Structure 1
Amino acid sequence: MSSGRTEVQVRPGVEKDLDALTALYNHYVRETAITFDTAVFTPEERRPWLLSHPEDGPYRLMVATEEDSQQILGYTTSSPYRPKSAYVTSVETTVYVAPDAGRRGIGTLLYDALFKALADEDVHRAYAGIAQPNQASGRLHARFGFRCVGTYREVGRKFGRYWDVSWYEKDL
């Protein structure tokens, strides 16, 4: 994709991305209610998360990078929806875009790559929880065929207030 300045590529996340992925996630931990984590992570604390997303199978990590600099512009994951075995064909998906890379179509590129990678996997449904309000994320998910199936009211507390989470699902 042409961003006007440079090309963007999407590829599987690898170990060398850990520091940049941790820094990106920590921005959302510190500055937003998009994640309900409240304490920042070290790269070593995030390593098990990275390793739980191999290059194949239903649990993926895809990163978008500037082709020339390899700077990480965002990432997407598919992760286990719940730990019980009957949920094995369901995944929870998420997208994080670097704060200075918004409005460039990075989320769309990432989700496109993720869902293409999942097409041959034994996955039946994808779910996404979106802290409210977040119209941009709602639009992104709708673009990929997610539909809102309900809202948990005041389910998380961060920054001294309660936040709702709307749940979306998509047939795969």
Structure 2
Amino acid sequence: MIRDVSLNDAKAITDIYNYYIDHTAVSFEEVMIEPVEMTKRIQAVHTASLPWLVLEENGILLGYAYATQWKARSAYRFVVEVSVYLESTQGGKGLGTQLYDALFTKLKQMDLQAAIGCITLPNSASVHLHEKFGMEKVGHFAKVGRKFDAWHDVGYWQVML
């Protein structure tokens, strides 16, 4: 079941996200966060009236997807950045597709121009997911993030809504 996020989901979302912080370069955050920080992030997205969705099965949160304001300046107000994260054992089951399908459905009903996805490279699964939703690669920055004593590239994908 996919539904809108609730503040009660902050702990489960934090657990999912901290895996990516601690074990991957998918997120460039380097210090695991606490549920209170995730609560603030959820509240910020709600304040901006942007969608944040969770996918749960039998009361267990398996993943989440959300849109955030891409940049703070007013002229960018019609562009969002999208993200999706799954519980670490849930990849390859189509859950990311389900979440993005629901997220993009909501985004297309809003007064928005474009959605952008930022992907640490290489990450073929994420690239495939974003391209499945019509996103095209529009930028590539070499060695701009340093995590786990290694430099990582970042690519940007975009779709007009």
- Offset at residue 117 of structure 1 (A): 1.0
Give the superposed CA RMSD: 1.2
Of the three residues 89, 98, 101, the one matched with 2:90 is 101
TM-score, scaled to structure 1: 0.91
Aligned to 1:44: 36
Give the counterpart letter for 1:35 in structure 2.
S
After superposition, residues 1-172 of structure 1 pair within 5 angstroms as 9-54=1-46, 57=49, 59-66=50-57, 68=58, 70-172=59-161
Cα shift readout 1:98-144 (whole Å, capped 9, x = no counterpart): 11111110000000000111122111000011001100000000100
Q: Which residue of 2 aligns with 1:4?
A: none
Give the Å deviation of 1:83.
Answer: 0.4
Instruction: Determine the C-alpha separation between the residues in 1 that align with 2:125 and 2:92.
Output: 9
Distance 1:90 1:47 in 2: 23
Matches of 1:145 and 1:166 in 2, distance apart?
15
Q: Deviations over 1:1-24 (max 9, x none)?
A: xxxxxxxx1111101101000111
Say how many residue pairs are matched: 161
> Structure 1 residue runs of 4+, over 4 Å off?
none
Structure 1 segments unaligned to the other structure (5+ residues): 1-8
**TM-score under structure 2 normalisation?**
0.97
